[in-house]
Structure 1
């Protein structure tokens, strides 16, 4: 019997997206909704004195760019990609536990050390900007959970793309998207540099252990008539 042809990276990624698709969409939506309940409660009802984050020289050099709001909002699409690429139900659940621990840690930091950016934030008539400032007050600043979750997502997406043997440009696009999100937090003045750096470190602190303590990552070896054989990575 002739050996099966090697599985292409596009078929691998396609199968990952299709598996448990409805569960992934519902899970990410519910998880985000629950996070925002805690986030906005702490934003509006801090239990301790609020610290104003200092500006660095780099903050003064970064111009206000309201058009970066598009990249800022794109996080809510970006964060669904990594869980969407988990192949098995067990991988998906463990991924959720890790990112849940990340978010709970961030909320805990906001509770015991509430922070905010300087209040003199610029205004703009760019579409959606007034809505953002009306809903998301300048609190819960450090660490930037926008950057923390984006960093966690970028590392986990890169891991899947590497195992699927995607072309380098696909992996580069992943990191460019992360960079755009991180930059946007500074460009629209929702965060300062120290917030973004702390967020990046928080994301790394959870992403790297999540790659070690998880179910053995799996890959698709071949697909025949809509069925796929899955074996652990070596």
Structure 2
């Protein structure tokens, strides 16, 4: 007897409960996630650029031997810009309001701490001689996001914080190892790209790394973790 489509679907769901668990997380509070993430992202930029324009004289960060070893690689610009999609994933996969608020609090705290540093201790990266063809995305990035607001790198701290949260979420649903590796590789690619497209240097990358890890650990939820089968079970 040929198995029906419903039988095949049930078998697939039973053998891969993490997929069902991820789907349930995605649809939970989806309108709130969509509106909240959009408002937070759009609200960040005016304040960021206002501080960049009005802060005092910036201290130019020194280059390290590591910075001199990393070649300029404009092809990594899409990886650099992918942060704005990557950071939306922990929001999308939040299982409830508590987890959603925890991630939101972490992002808000990182932003507030970094903006205070930008205001009271403004820094900038050296003026790299970067050739960007007119009309390209790289030229636009260099025009809009200038060398200021360097330390700590919020690009790095956001990607590291999102990586920590996603690692926790993927572990909770019992996701396979390859997916967890993809998560870490994506975050590492974003971090590397900040130096490869000459938007940051090692010192502010390390500052962003420390900030992201600190908030990732600080916002860890305490409590029992449900097994993947329990998370996938309908209410």
TM range (shorter): 0.7 to 0.9
Say whether 1:168 aligns with 2:169: no
- Deviation of 1:219 (Å): 6.6
Aligned counterparts, 1:64-79, within 5 A: 64-79=72-87
Match of 2:192 in 1: 183
CA RMSD of aligned residues (A): 1.9
Name the stretch that deviates more: 8-17 or 215-224. Answer: 215-224
Cross-structure match for 2:7 = none
Counterpart Cα distance in 2 of 1:222 and 1:77: 25
TM-score, structure 2 as length reference:
0.88
Q: Secondary structure of the equivalent of 2:72?
A: coil
Map of 1:86 onto structure 2: 94
* Residue 96 (str. 1) matches residue 104 (str. 2): yes
Q: Does 1:52 align with 2:96?
A: no
Structure with the higher helix share, 1 or 2: 2
Partner of 2:125: 117
Change (3 A) 1:100 1:11: same
Identify if the C-alpha distance between structure 1 residues 11 and 200 changes in structure 2 by more than 3 Å, giving closer, same or farther.
same
Query: Gaps spanning 5+ residues in structure 1: where?
Result: 230-234
Q: What does 1:81-230 align with in structure 2 at a 5 Å threshold?
A: 81-125=89-133, 127-212=136-221, 221=230, 228-229=234-235
Is the 1:79–1:149 contact (alpha carbons within 8 Å) kept by the matching residues of 2? yes
Q: By percentage of residues, which structure has more strand?
A: 1
Q: For residues 69-122 of structure 1, give each alpha carbon's deviation from its aligned partner in whole angstroms, at most 9, with x where no partner exists.
A: 010000000000011111112321232112111111111111111000012341
Q: Report how far residue 19 of structure 1 moved.
A: 1.0
Count of aligned positions? 220
Q: What TM-score results when the alignment is normalised by the length of structure 1?
A: 0.88
CA distance in structure 2 between the partners assigned to 1:106 and 1:219 by the alignment: 37
